[in-house]
Amino acid sequence: MSVTTDPTEQYNLITKGLQETLNGAIIKDVLENQKRPLKVYWGTAPTGKPHCGYFVPMIKLAHFLKAGCEVTVLLADLHAFLDNMKATLEVVQYRAKYYELIVKSILKSINVPIEKLKFVVGSSYQLSAEYTMDIFKLSNIVSQNGAKRAGADVVKQVDNPLLSGLIYPLMQALDEEHLGVDAQFGGVDQRKIFVLAEENLPSIGYKKRAHLMNPMVPGLGQGGKMSASDPNSKIDIIEEPKIVRKKVNSAYCAPGEVKDNGLLAFLEHVVAPIQELKAEKEGVFKLDIDRPEKYGGPISYTSLDELKADFESGKLSPVDLKSGVADRIVELLAPIKAEFEANPEFQAAQANGYPVEQPKQKVKKEKKNKGSKYPGAGKSSSPAPLSADATVEQTADALKEAAIN
């Protein structure tokens, strides 16, 4: 992958495809006046298993590297622990390793060199006395409502929130200073935390940073982003091809509906950018759909706009779109899955980070031995057998005794 050195080209590449950029002037100053690589970081809290939505930030990391940036990936283990304590610290450590291996594998699979990528585990510096003192300083100027509002789109909201959810956004703001970066990159759902950082870091003597925000890619369901907490909305990076096809086939895809269509969004935000990266050329797109002959036979698209137009007009059916997208996803995941299956460390990180819960076995209740002292012991619950020559009176007496007992 060739690296560009022209400041204008670098800026365009750094901001390409973003939904929003805050303080772009900071980035331009670094590139044009200071004439040095932009230092940028992307943080991820290792909670649920990474899914196909992670291709979107990986593509931006590729853009940053191509623009000559110094890129840091923060594996925010303490953030994961603070997010309503979804896992123990020990399990989070395994998840952090799993995330690192996933990120490296995705980037290698789309031909992005990872030698200049720096990985940092949050707890390696977030437990220091200096960092702790900075949390106290921020706690003195950020209100409870301000911290809660900042984390509203990131930290799981509950009726009676823990203090951990308020500490989370303060730490994310401080990470910019302690990682020594010029800019932080994340999804647009991080915007409120970015604003908190911009408004409050200068109050404790630290400089304001630039913030780069990706759009949120729709999931496979009707509305909403692709989320690790909703198994029906996402496809895991290490997913069996048959499960991929099953999930894609059950995805929401109304005929002619282009807006909030998770499959079209995947083509736009993942498939097309990856094809451009590999070809090192703008506007490259290709999607082959193996359509049955009775429905018109195989069809190939070299323009995403043309594909969208055909889908909107009804020329391309949801069934055919799903078939084409499923094939591309299986193709994208194949090299990552192959690396996972060949790497015991990769497998161990997943097994220890996401242990499979064993189904609880039903305990068979044993019949209690009441002994011989309880009331009614020794009495038969059915009448004693009568001899063939028993009298009518004897039979009546026997039935009466059984009824009493």
Q: What are the domain boundaries of the chain? A: 7-214, 241-353
pLDDT value of residue 217 = 83
Coil, helix or strand at residue 47: coil
pLDDT value of residue 224 = 58
284: tokens are 């490259």
Judge contact between 135 and 167, C-beta under 8 A: yes
Sequence-distant (≥ 6) Cβ neighbours of residue 290 within 8 angstroms: 298, 323, 324, 327
- pLDDT beneath 50, residues of the chain: 380-392, 395-396, 399, 402-403, 405
Sequence-distant (≥ 6) Cβ neighbours of residue 11 within 8 angstroms: 24, 27, 28, 31, 67
Q: Region of 314 please: left (phi>0), alpha (psi -120 to 50) or beta.
A: left
Whole-angstrom distance, CA of residue 132 vs CA of residue 127? 7
Whole-angstrom distance, CA of residue 124 vs CA of residue 119? 11
CATH number of 241-353: 1.10.240.10
Helices (H), 70-115: 77-82, 89-109
Judge contact between 308 and 321, C-beta under 8 A: no
Whole-angstrom distance, CA of residue 113 vs CA of residue 61? 11
Return the closest-CA partner of residue 42 out of 26, 62, 57, 30: 57
Instruction: Among 3.30.1330.10, 3.40.50.1220, 3.40.50.620, 1.10.3720.10, name the CATH number for the domain at 7-214.
Output: 3.40.50.620
Sequence-distant (≥ 6) Cβ neighbours of residue 328 within 8 angstroms: 267, 271, 287
Element (H, E) at 42: strand 39-44
